[in-house]
Amino acid sequence: MSDIENYILEEVFSIEKSGEMPEVAYYESLYFLTKENSGPCLRLGEEQLLPLKKAVIKRYITIIHRDLLPENRDKQIYRGVDRCVANWQRLNTFCQRADMDVGRLRGEVKAALKSFLNREVEDCRDGNRVSCINCKTTRLEEFLEDLGLDSGELAEGWQDLSLL
């Protein structure tokens, strides 16, 4: 494996383990790899950039799924549907700028959101919990529309989940 490949793999790892802002980690990696005096000062082509871009996407998807897992609702790591929507929008913006398609990801997030909301309705209806939906119904509706999720696919009462 070449030195360039090693540098890129290290930065991919860094991006995939970054916190809430993988795109920031991406630009930090680019700066380190290409301009930082203590960095390798590489000239990167699209072939070398692609693994870094894919790492950003992978991290965003990880964060989005974290906030669509019912098991996480009561954990400290949970940020809620509002943050999930924000991260989906950030992912879309990044993919547009990076000329990458989110089509396959849309279906994945759509299925996760549908499952999450149906479970939330079920749990709240049974009185087992108070809803954790932390965004306005209009924001949630816009998210559904962006994902192509028909509200008719959701359990009855999903519109009443929002705490706002």
Do 51 and 98 form a contact (C-beta atoms < 8 A)? Answer: no
What pLDDT is attached to residue 100? 95
Q: Is 130 exposed, middle or buried (0-12, 13-18, 19+ CB in 10 A)?
A: exposed
Report which of 102, 129, 127, 116 is spatially closest to residue 155, judged by C-alpha positions.
116
> Mean pLDDT for each 10-residue chunk of the chain (164 residues)?
93 96 97 96 96 98 98 96 97 96 94 97 89 95 97 93 74
What pLDDT is attached to residue 164? 56
- Entry pTM: 0.93
What pLDDT is attached to residue 130? 93
Rounded Cα gap, residues 152 and 10, in angstroms: 45
What pLDDT is attached to residue 41? 96
